Structure 1
Amino acid sequence: MSGKIPLRIEQALDLVLALPAHRSGNQNHAKFGHMLIEEYFIKLRSDYKEDENAYIYLTHLFTAVASAVRAFSVQRDIFQTKWNTLCAVKNSIINRANKMEKYSPFNGVNGKLISLFISLSSSGIITKPRINNVQDILIFVYLVPIFFVIAMFIFDFVLDLYRDKLIRKAEKTLNQNVVEIWQEENHAQYKLILKNFLLIAIEIHKRHYPNEEIFEEDIDKLSKEELEQYLDKIIEKHLAF
């Protein structure tokens, strides 16, 4: 294997993207991540132990890979913390909205009390001894309880609207904030980590395999700005999320 480059930079870039699986809560994903560590960090280096240059190259390259994976883990923890905070806020709003049900005039004990009040008010007015005007009695017996019940229905309807509005706002706010955090912070930070990895990997490659081409395009002819744009394209090509 002497003189042959054991792992190209773009392959190592894919390794950086795949290795975080070892931290997954999914058992199969975690197993896959540990398999990659065994296959590359241990077995591949062992296969090239007779080639001193390749062995040192892999040692340095895997150090850069490990550093990038660690940076991914830190960024993931930051994102998870923000996610948990947003979920806590969302749950708090939803719990507050759900607790509003107890203020419904038709809920539980309140509903029974209102029914009792309507019954008593109606029967009390009917049996009131000093009301002689039949028309007045009918007005009190029918209209007052009816207006009262209508008012309670309106209040309950408005209460439901407000509760639903709170819940929708909580859901919408969470989704918007998560998307913003992912696009503006997390995703951008992942790309920065990968770009820094590529720059380090290029130096390692040049040091150990100066005559081997690194990418399809000759990056030595590119300016610093052109190189960064080229690396961005490579990252976008490999980045699947």
Structure 2
Amino acid sequence: MRKEKTYFWIAFLLVGLLLSLNALLLCLRKDGDALDVYQQFTVCIDAGHGGVDGGVTGVNTGVKESDLNLSVSRLLKEQFENCGITVVMTRKTKDGLYGTATSGFKRRDMEKRREIIEQSKPDMVISIHMNKYSSPSRSGPQVFFLEKGCAGEALAVSLQNALNKFTGNSHSALSGDYFILKCTDSPSVIVECGFLSNAEDERKLSDKEYQAQLTKIIFEGAMMYMYSGNLP
């Protein structure tokens, strides 16, 4: 049993090192210089929920989605900034964006997010969330875009493919009529990082090391999309 645990952690660390190397290579030209063109880009990262709106909760620990969203968003921000890309966060703290928690706070929160997104003039928007489903067996990340043929579809597919390789799932990117996807004409997606209704997903998503690996994969999927010349 001790040997099995040792092998597991060695494999885990090797995966982390490979992901770090891949992320670095995506920021370099063949001659080793930073990709200057990417440094002109702006990415808006939206940490879903916040404040009195905690989102969904973990099936075992009761961990709040809003807290996990913020933690993952901060790590994802670091990934892009390490590549010289400008990042704008809609939510930077545990607080919501609605002011006081009075009637209509959810609408005010979403309108504030729209305002931040519009003002930042982003090249892409990535909204971070956690999922929940009636069946506890449902697991793994799920990416949403607005509708077929929209600017965000190719980005969503790139992210979903990268996340499927990471987790071993076979989910398809899905369309969804969500407010945050309609705040700009730029490619916009929602990344549901996993299911808090699934005990294993909850355990992994609460782990900082797993969060770090997850954000590297999201970053890589976004960079592969940008590298392929899909940006409008």
TM above 0.5: no
Which category of TM-score, normalised to the shorter sequence, fits these structures? under 0.3
* Structure with the largest fraction of helix: 1
Higher relative CO (Cα under 8 Å, sequence separation at least 6) belongs to 1
Q: Give the TM-score normalised by structure 2.
A: 0.23
Under a length normalisation based on structure 1, what TM-score does the superposition of the two structures give?
A: 0.23
